[in-house]
């Protein structure tokens, strides 16, 4: 069997403050691309909403007032240097950004629509694949009980592109099956499985995750935040026999702490590279895509072992229902 090795990089970004223009972020990203190229990287993954601060923490009464944080073209004058660098280095990249488009909504009304989006760009600088975040956390209205807002449900619509996977050349490999998830999606096994059912080999995933659970009425220890992030990604890779490059934005951004700990994970669920800083940092791994075969031909040979007839609730309902209550035979007290 021919070897299918791909050298991948996670390009973690330190904080991007509210006042910083896109050009500053792009210059930092270009420096990371150059660093990754020197290490032989053939694909580099940037975080969610990589061009600006994580603006859903800021409230705008009029949604249009948030539009300066959105991209209306890709590439744009600001992002074109990333595409040029991809061509220069023969390196693919994954980029998360806020997307503002005018397109028909589900009722056929053509209007401005806003999505939390990621693209996969090939080594020739062409956009290969686009994904729009499906699992939007947070809330739609200003919440006075929260110290920090999380207004993704205000600024973004639920992604309408499903979870696409595409086979395309990357580096020296003629065809890699690639898909994407964005941040909160990583916590949902359904999302991973939809990718797995399309034989995904590599998942590119960007995230912005605060070190504190601002929603928690009770206490959630900060170390568990990283544990749950890694747990979800490692389980997703193992159960779907794929690699993931999971890249964070990290550090104190607009006064809010984001944990980093970007990781690259193999199909056994093992972390094979991990960032150690809260700053701009490149981590790389040499991925033998042949490793995806073991899981998908044995434990997770979907065609032999899956039982969709027993999974109706997965797509048939949203919230959990209460189970029937046991009662003692004959109606006596239990």
Whose structure tokens read 């033998």? 288
Q: From 206-214, 238-246, 276-284, 285-293, give the range in contact with ligand CDV by CB under 6 A.
A: 206-214
Q: Minimum distance from CB of 184 to ligand CDV (Å)?
A: 3
Instruction: Please report which residue ranges of 290-331 form alpha helices under DSSP H.
Output: 292-297, 302-305, 312-316
60 has catalytic annotation: no
- CB contact burial 273-311 (16+ within 10 A = b; e otherwise): bebeebebbbbbbebebebbeebbeeebeeeeeeeeeee
233 makes contact with ligand CDV (CB under 6 A): no
Q: Is 207 in the site for ligand CDV (CB under 6 A)?
A: yes
- Residue among 42, 48, 152, 201 flagged as catalytic: 48
Q: Are 108 and 85 in contact (CB under 8 A)?
A: no
Cβ proximity to ligand CDV, 207 vs 300, nearer residue: 207
Could you tell me if residue 90 is left (phi over 0), alpha (psi between -120 and 50 degrees) or otherwise beta? left
| Nearest to ligand CDV of 131, 300 (CB atom) | 131
Residues 65 and 60: their CA atoms lie apart, in Å, by 6
Phi-psi region of 49 (alpha: psi -120 to 50; beta: other; left: phi over 0): left
The answer to whether residue 183 forms part of the interface with ligand CDV (CB under 6 A) is yes
Q: In a 3-state reduction of DSSP, which class is residue 68?
A: helix
- For 169, the token pair is 């050349």
Of the ranges 8-16, 207-215, 254-262, 298-306, which one interacts with ligand CDV (CB under 6 A)? 207-215
Binding mask 15-54 for ligand CDV (x = CB under 6 A): ---------------------------------x------
Ramachandran sector of residue 208 (left: φ over 0; alpha: ψ -120 to 50; beta: rest)? beta
**Is residue 249 among the annotated active site residues?**
no
Q: Which of 71, 99, 133, 253 is catalytic?
A: 133
Among 4, 22, 28, 187, which residue interacts with ligand CDV (rule: CB under 6 A)? Answer: 187
Smallest Cα–Cα separation from 199: which of 233, 163, 250? 163
Please, which residue, 48 or 71, has the CB nearer to ligand CDV? 48
Q: Which is nearer to ligand CDV, 246 or 285 (CB)?
A: 246
Which residue, 177 or 261, has its beta carbon nearer to ligand CDV? 261
Do the beta carbons of residue 284 and residue 241 sit within 8 Å?
A: no
Q: Which is nearer to ligand CDV, 318 or 321 (CB)?
A: 318
Instruction: Restricting to residues 111-170, name those near ligand CDV by CB under 6 A.
Output: 137, 150
- Whether 48 is a known active-site residue: answer yes
Secondary structure of residue 111 in the 3-state scheme: strand
Sequence-distant contacts of 212-219: CB under 8 A, at least 24 apart = 212/257, 214/146, 214/147, 214/148, 214/150, 215/146, 215/150
Q: How many residues bind ligand CDV (CB under 6 A)?
A: 9
Q: How far is the CB of 136 from ligand CDV (least distance, A)?
A: 8
- Interaction site with ligand CDV (CB under 6 A): 48, 137, 150, 183-184, 187, 207-209
Active site residues: 48, 133, 183
């Amino acid at each position: 069997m021919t070897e299918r090795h791909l050298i991948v990089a996670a390009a973690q970004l330190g904080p991007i403050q509210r006042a910083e223009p896109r050009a500053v972020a792009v210059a930092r990203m270009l420096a990371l691309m150059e660093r990754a190229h020197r290490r032989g990287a053939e694909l580099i993954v940037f975080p969610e909403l990589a061009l600006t601060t994580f603006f859903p923490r800021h409230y705008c009464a009029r949604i249009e007032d948030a539009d300066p944080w959105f991209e209306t073209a890709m590439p744009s004058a600001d992002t074109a240097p990333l595409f040029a660098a991809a061509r220069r280095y023969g390196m693919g990249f994954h980029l998360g950004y806020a997307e503002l488009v005018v397109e028909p909504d589900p009722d056929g009304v053509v209007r401005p629509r806003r999505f939390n989006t990621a693209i996969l760009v090939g080594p020739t600088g062409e956009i290969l694949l686009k994904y729009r975040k499906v699992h939007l956390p947070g809330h739609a209205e200003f919440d006075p009980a929260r110290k920090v807002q999380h207004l993704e449900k205000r600024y973004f619509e639920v992604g309408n592109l499903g979870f696409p996977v595409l086979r395309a050349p990357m580096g020296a490999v003629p065809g890699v099956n690639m898909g994407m998830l964005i941040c909160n999606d990583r916590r949902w096994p359904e999302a991973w499985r939809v990718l797995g059912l399309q034989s995904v080999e590599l998942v590119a995933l960007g995230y912005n995750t605060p070190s504190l659970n601002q929603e928690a009425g009770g206490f959630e220890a900060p170390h568990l935040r990283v544990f749950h992030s890694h747990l979800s990604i490692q389980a997703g890779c193992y159960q779907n026999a794929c690699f993931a490059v999971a890249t964070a934005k990290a550090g104190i951004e607009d006064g809010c702490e984001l944990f980093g700990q970007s990781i690259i994970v193999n199909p056994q669920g093992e972390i094979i590279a991990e960032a150690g800083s809260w700053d701009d940092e490149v981590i790389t791994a040499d991925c033998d895509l042949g490793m995806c075969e073991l899981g998908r031909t044995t434990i997770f040979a979907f065609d032999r072992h899956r039982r969709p007839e027993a999974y109706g609730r997965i797509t048939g309902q949203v919230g959990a229902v209460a189970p029937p209550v046991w009662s003692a035979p004959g109606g006596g007290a239990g």
